[in-house]
Structure 1
């Protein structure tokens, strides 16, 4: 109770803090008889290619307001049903009122004015980079594939990284999504990117967001600005070694006071990955045997994704929203087929064994969100309240069957055992935000938040030989982990002539309680952390800009990683949780210079304390490979970053980035308890080029290339790798349909090789996934599509760590 009182007082007190706003463009839409047009659509368009930058709808009195507009020149245009106004040129360098915009009864069609092509431009803002993909060769792909091609984002072994960090949070329409990594991939790979307007790489997250994660990726969905109904159906086929198929449909409706959307897709896929693990087991500081494990992993998954939203305008100032997201995987089959040979150090074979791990899973993730927004009498002031509940249910049963053979191939023994596990989570959060402008160039914002997480994990294992050295599994156990987070923040944002400033301070108080029923000890932890942030941008003139960024953030352990269970993946490999994991705290600072809005140079420094990472250690006594969740003692990265973002010609857009940095990981050898350093200078290059191949701009081409040099990853070193991908998109039938094809990792160079060599540890891992993929997609739009591709998809609200 005392914590809630403290947060309430803190929230009230921080209303005197300052927070900025972007410029606003406002006015009134009227018809040819000078009467107000309620619920007319208003668009802000780019000069040059007339692509839509922002849009909104007028209220009952025809009044509209477009917020968050950057300094610059634009076209503005209004439409109502099939009638539209003329284009009007506006210059935005402060809040402006354009007075009235008149929509005639026989104005020309918007389709004749708006150029369909929008090249994948990268816009730099004070705290983020915005990559627009709308109407590009990427927009018929799925969102996960688009992220792989987004500038500044690198996907290594299905893990997102930005500038050397993999502590990357995901947002959809400004709201945090924190699902297990594999669930995020399932969600995004089953969602069409045709509903995405842009990808924002938030390099310095505002204090309004939870302090969880490092940098953030914000997926901005399109808005449905036209009254009536429209929809689309789409089909996407991917061929690797095995086929993968996704079918989906979108439905959108907008009335005078209501907006609604229902989106559904079904995916059926089969995946293949091959792994080679070579472990040199030691005895008396000498290599005693060499174990080579060749594993073939197949995964078959059927999944259903469904989202819906409903917005209702109670009046001109108040809106309530209800939304849901459901992900159901009723059938996930995994088979690990591992052949392990045991050789003398000199080479001769001693023996071998084969393990089949056959597992079946079912997963349900369902979430519900309720939002309330009220605009206060003072222009620009508003209060927002949002609540969220998620239920997560995961069950997995696996059977491991191992047969042992001698040198002659005769079967000598067997070891069969089963494991059944399940995890259930209930997540709840409630947040209140208040914002108020200060004049025309600044704004304050503050808020409070409460989150409650209750996790329960159950495991039962039978059949394995517990007499083996180093084996201490829990035969049956129940682990509960509860967490409460109390947070409050205040922030200030302002624009003064050449200066743009965003700053904030967030406080989070956390209580955790973990207990395994078969052990007496209880893990209880409480901590209070402060998270300041600052972004400053100075524009000397249109050709020279300077920026400074600083933030402090946190990463709390995933719930699965704190489960203190030993779960076997094969006869000599085991995955272990760690209930003693600490939250990771990081500080980041960067100084940046941009010339002509196209060329950028940056130096940065990142210091991470107690970085969370799963590391591999070999148990030389038990001949085991142990995959253990740990905290790194030190994780420091510093270096330089350069980028080019430019239209080379009218039909060729190019993005190029290069980074050279030093990364050092300090970790503890769990056997000797010795602190060891693993540091390397690393560099990578990323090139993305978009082309318009026909005069009618109906054929688009995207080419993407990535190269990474040798890299330090925890207690291992990763060899260089590269990827080259290509995508084509052709619009058909007056742009109501589109077809796309592409090939990812054309030369199949995206395989990963890791080496761990220190003290009495010497093992290697080679990962060969289905990197080379052929994709074929088709999308058809129907209904009221007079305004192309302006569809709204309600965002996913905050989910905490699952």
Structure 2
């Protein structure tokens, strides 16, 4: 315990300590004729596992220097446009000048020469899991498919969650991207995973990042060290009930001071989902009127994704980056075809609704980053500016035919809706980080974000009374938000202890104005968000950890629009400008044995949880999907996980979670409290196989199963899926072909019930669960180049 108190004392009072010794390595690179080679790439590797430590390039005289290197045993290698030197091993205990590295006129691969052992597929660190994906069957697929097999990540019907939370942020190379959830799916589904080194699941995000996300997923790309050019073309085809197709190209270039990448893909997505909604409406005489709606939801979507990344090294200590990401969907056609049968109703026997909807969407964003290294000890100052423009237009024509109890036509109704939303986002952030003592680091920063949203709607032709706003009215809603934030964080390690802790402060001011109501909504809110993780490792076999955080979720911008739009005559989708932010608390403690077996206990609580709740209005026979706050949510449970290489070609990961959750909310129609309680569990397992002597054939077998669970104000029955994927590489890994099947036994359908007080209904969703997936990728150019692909995210864009 004294060893623990001592580092804490040093942390809080920032007493000075000695810096560790830092050494330098110098040398030259020659060709076989003993001529100096300018701008060759130098790779310094750990002799233990061949992992990259650092890299540099030679100057015009062929000389290089690596600074700030700690003592130890290393490997070093030079390369230049396909030619490589032999690997040199050496011990570093003082400043060292190495013998010349000689480039040979060969095309041997680095991993054929220096890789002596594979990285573990899953690594557990103090605040995150690191999933190494390079040798899986999904490595030449897309990033979205890789996320589906990432430990702790759950993706069901394209909905992303980690540890039961859907407040998940995405980063690439440590930089946050921030686009709407649907656009994230589209972007990552069109982004090749061939250059992904690992995926980090950050279960306790540092205070540097917004307090919005409970979990961050960081997609780490391979280092772009080798100079030159390469490119790739790829094609992915998926067959369900309907075909889906993506074609794209990547291009990467690295010079002495510049890195440039351009990525484009075109997707043509077609999918169909079937719904069966059964609602029992109580009548005045005590009987029930049962409405059974069979809906076919057909979606056709054409999408263009563009991204441009440019990095320029102004000097050895300063870098400038420009990024642009654009997602353009010029054609989104949706058809909702609904047949509703009525029993026990004296007015109609049935009605048919055909909803033809069209949407166009543009989401374009621009980022500028500047990084300045200060001094020689690792101090760094960085600035970021960002702007996003989002423009969406929706139009729908809803036609309904009503039939009387004898089957004759009783009436018709045509109803049109035109809606639009325009959002401008901009942010500015400055960060400073510096070492503190031998093994510590402190970070601090300031941030401002501004949001301006304008929404409008025009509805004409509807002649039926129902709760909510006047459905035939036109209106505008303006929403503005300003967020000011500051943070400080500290990380350090001493002997057997590791610590990360931080505090973030956020002040938010929101204003909403709706032209249909005279009031002007304004809120001001200041909150503190502490977080901390601590790990104790008495020896190499045992690890103990404890972590805690407090976070916030602000309403998505479309959920606060006070409009009521119709999917059919029977169902509406509604926003609520009075939504409150949600706050979340999470604490967990765990034990890991031999880096393979983990048990973790957790407790979480949420106030004013944000959800889309389903309520039936019995007076008007209406099913309403309303953005709402849950009063309280809490859950406690245990996670059990296994991660182990049983042989040199087989890796197994298993996660089983058992928990009890409780949701408390108010019934909209009665304004009385409702409490739902459920014991639930889920299991997921990933099994990876490396086959053939050269490991050019890989296979992944994955299973997900979820027992009955709660979601919003509904209870869901159990569902699951078994997936199998193969990948084969050819021609020295330049060509890869993948083939697989998702949800082999078609068990991913979801059935939910709502049965409390005056609510009595069920819903069954049947999607395209069983999918045949094929992929083809071909690389050209300098195959050793690694991309500098990274993407951005500012903290408000995921709420679009």
Length-normalised TM-score, structure 1:
0.92
> Is the contact made by 2:29 and 2:58 (CA closer than 8 Å) also made in structure 1?
no
- For 1:98 and 1:485, the matched residues in 2 are separated by 51
- For residues 409-429 of structure 1, the C-alpha deviation after alignment (integer angstroms, 9 at most, x for no partner) is 322211110001111111001
- For 2:335 and 2:665, the matched residues in 1 are separated by 33
- For 1:18 and 1:580, the matched residues in 2 are separated by 51
How far 1:398 moved relative to its partner?
Answer: 0.5
- For 1:268 and 1:15, the matched residues in 2 are separated by 58
**In the alignment, which residue of structure 1 is the partner of 2:65?**
63
> Is the contact made by 2:275 and 2:296 (CA closer than 8 Å) also made in structure 1?
yes
1:735 aligns to what SS in structure 2? Answer: coil
- For 1:274 and 1:330, the matched residues in 2 are separated by 25
How far 1:257 moved relative to its partner?
Answer: 0.6
Aligned pairs for 1:578-657 (under 5 A) are 578-657=576-655
**In the alignment, which residue of structure 1 is the partner of 2:765?**
767
> Is the contact made by 2:212 and 2:795 (CA closer than 8 Å) also made in structure 1?
no
**2:106 equivalent to 1:110:** no
> Is the contact made by 1:415 and 1:464 (CA closer than 8 Å) also made in structure 2?
yes
Aligned pairs for 1:293-332 (under 5 A) are 293-332=293-332
**Change in 2 beyond 3 A, CA 1:65/1:745:** farther
2:315 aligns to what SS in structure 1? Answer: coil
> Is the contact made by 1:58 and 1:64 (CA closer than 8 Å) also made in structure 2?
no
- For residues 623-668 of structure 1, the C-alpha deviation after alignment (integer angstroms, 9 at most, x for no partner) is 0000011111111111100111111101101111111011111111
Aligned pairs for 1:419-438 (under 5 A) are 419-438=417-436
How far 1:90 moved relative to its partner?
Answer: 7.4
How many residues in Structure 1 have an aligned counterpart in Structure 2?
778
- For residues 273-292 of structure 1, the C-alpha deviation after alignment (integer angstroms, 9 at most, x for no partner) is 00110000113494420000
**In the alignment, which residue of structure 2 is the partner of 1:461?**
459
**In the alignment, which residue of structure 2 is the partner of 1:472?**
470
**In the alignment, which residue of structure 2 is the partner of 1:575?**
573
Among 752, 755, 758, the alignment partner of 2:756 is: 758
Aligned pairs for 1:40-189 (under 5 A) are 40-44=41-45, 47=48, 50=50, 52=51, 56-58=55-57, 62-64=64-66, 77-81=77-81, 82-86=83-87, 88=89, 100=98, 102-106=100-104, 109-111=108-110, 112-113=112-113, 121-189=121-189
**In the alignment, which residue of structure 1 is the partner of 2:256?**
256
**In the alignment, which residue of structure 2 is the partner of 1:727?**
725
- For 1:547 and 1:678, the matched residues in 2 are separated by 32
- For 1:567 and 1:59, the matched residues in 2 are separated by 63
- For residues 583-605 of structure 1, the C-alpha deviation after alignment (integer angstroms, 9 at most, x for no partner) is 11111111111111111110011
- For 2:679 and 2:128, the matched residues in 1 are separated by 26
Aligned pairs for 1:156-235 (under 5 A) are 156-235=156-235
> Is the contact made by 2:16 and 2:437 (CA closer than 8 Å) also made in structure 1?
no
**Change in 2 beyond 3 A, CA 1:65/1:464:** farther
Aligned pairs for 1:368-767 (under 5 A) are 368-468=366-466, 472-473=470-471, 475-767=473-765
Of 256-265 and 72-81, the range deviating more from structure 2: 72-81
1:610 aligns to what SS in structure 2? Answer: strand
> Is the contact made by 2:178 and 2:793 (CA closer than 8 Å) also made in structure 1?
no
> Is the contact made by 2:468 and 2:564 (CA closer than 8 Å) also made in structure 1?
no
> Is the contact made by 1:466 and 1:472 (CA closer than 8 Å) also made in structure 2?
no
**Change in 2 beyond 3 A, CA 1:45/1:329:** farther
- For residues 43-88 of structure 1, the C-alpha deviation after alignment (integer angstroms, 9 at most, x for no partner) is 536856x5x5565434757334699x9x999755443441234153
> Is the contact made by 2:415 and 2:460 (CA closer than 8 Å) also made in structure 1?
yes
Higher RCO (C-alpha under 8 Å, 6+ residues apart)? 1
**Change in 2 beyond 3 A, CA 1:90/1:342:** farther
> Is the contact made by 1:237 and 1:776 (CA closer than 8 Å) also made in structure 2?
yes
**Change in 2 beyond 3 A, CA 1:648/1:325:** same
**Change in 2 beyond 3 A, CA 1:105/1:46:** closer
2:184 aligns to what SS in structure 1? Answer: helix
- For 1:697 and 1:539, the matched residues in 2 are separated by 35
> Is the contact made by 1:56 and 1:66 (CA closer than 8 Å) also made in structure 2?
no
- For 2:187 and 2:141, the matched residues in 1 are separated by 14
How far 1:694 moved relative to its partner?
Answer: 0.5
How far 1:516 moved relative to its partner?
Answer: 0.7
How far 1:407 moved relative to its partner?
Answer: 4.0
- For 2:550 and 2:615, the matched residues in 1 are separated by 31
> Is the contact made by 2:585 and 2:606 (CA closer than 8 Å) also made in structure 1?
yes
- For 1:511 and 1:167, the matched residues in 2 are separated by 21
- For 1:129 and 1:193, the matched residues in 2 are separated by 18
> Is the contact made by 1:54 and 1:66 (CA closer than 8 Å) also made in structure 2?
no
- For residues 671-711 of structure 1, the C-alpha deviation after alignment (integer angstroms, 9 at most, x for no partner) is 22111111111111111010011111100001100111010
> Is the contact made by 1:18 and 1:444 (CA closer than 8 Å) also made in structure 2?
no
2:165 aligns to what SS in structure 1? Answer: coil
**Change in 2 beyond 3 A, CA 1:431/1:90:** farther
**Change in 2 beyond 3 A, CA 1:594/1:482:** same
**Change in 2 beyond 3 A, CA 1:87/1:689:** farther
**Change in 2 beyond 3 A, CA 1:633/1:330:** same
2:462 aligns to what SS in structure 1? Answer: coil
How far 1:106 moved relative to its partner?
Answer: 2.7
How far 1:178 moved relative to its partner?
Answer: 3.2
- The unaligned stretches of length 5 or more in structure 1 are 1-13
**Change in 2 beyond 3 A, CA 1:778/1:466:** same
- For 2:200 and 2:738, the matched residues in 1 are separated by 24
The alignment's C-alpha RMSD in Å is: 2.9
- For 1:187 and 1:25, the matched residues in 2 are separated by 43
Of 675-684 and 562-571, the range deviating more from structure 2: 675-684
- For 1:428 and 1:23, the matched residues in 2 are separated by 43
**Change in 2 beyond 3 A, CA 1:446/1:474:** farther
- For 1:153 and 1:302, the matched residues in 2 are separated by 28
**Change in 2 beyond 3 A, CA 1:673/1:72:** farther
How far 1:308 moved relative to its partner?
Answer: 0.8
2:104 aligns to what SS in structure 1? Answer: coil
How far 1:198 moved relative to its partner?
Answer: 1.6
**Change in 2 beyond 3 A, CA 1:16/1:440:** closer
> Is the contact made by 2:580 and 2:629 (CA closer than 8 Å) also made in structure 1?
yes
> Is the contact made by 2:179 and 2:793 (CA closer than 8 Å) also made in structure 1?
no
- For residues 414-462 of structure 1, the C-alpha deviation after alignment (integer angstroms, 9 at most, x for no partner) is 1110001111111001100011112321111100000001111111000
How far 1:670 moved relative to its partner?
Answer: 1.2
How far 1:148 moved relative to its partner?
Answer: 1.6
Length-normalised TM-score, structure 2:
0.92
- For 1:125 and 1:615, the matched residues in 2 are separated by 37
1:337 aligns to what SS in structure 2? Answer: strand
- For 2:72 and 2:718, the matched residues in 1 are separated by 42
**In the alignment, which residue of structure 2 is the partner of 1:335?**
335
**Change in 2 beyond 3 A, CA 1:719/1:98:** farther
Of 391-400 and 176-185, the range deviating more from structure 2: 176-185
2:383 aligns to what SS in structure 1? Answer: strand
How far 1:186 moved relative to its partner?
Answer: 1.6
**Change in 2 beyond 3 A, CA 1:120/1:360:** farther
- For residues 129-182 of structure 1, the C-alpha deviation after alignment (integer angstroms, 9 at most, x for no partner) is 011112421112222222122111111232112122222222222233332222
**In the alignment, which residue of structure 1 is the partner of 2:4?**
none
- For 1:136 and 1:696, the matched residues in 2 are separated by 14
- For 1:702 and 1:66, the matched residues in 2 are separated by 41
- For 2:25 and 2:205, the matched residues in 1 are separated by 31
> Is the contact made by 1:382 and 1:435 (CA closer than 8 Å) also made in structure 2?
yes
**Change in 2 beyond 3 A, CA 1:45/1:333:** farther
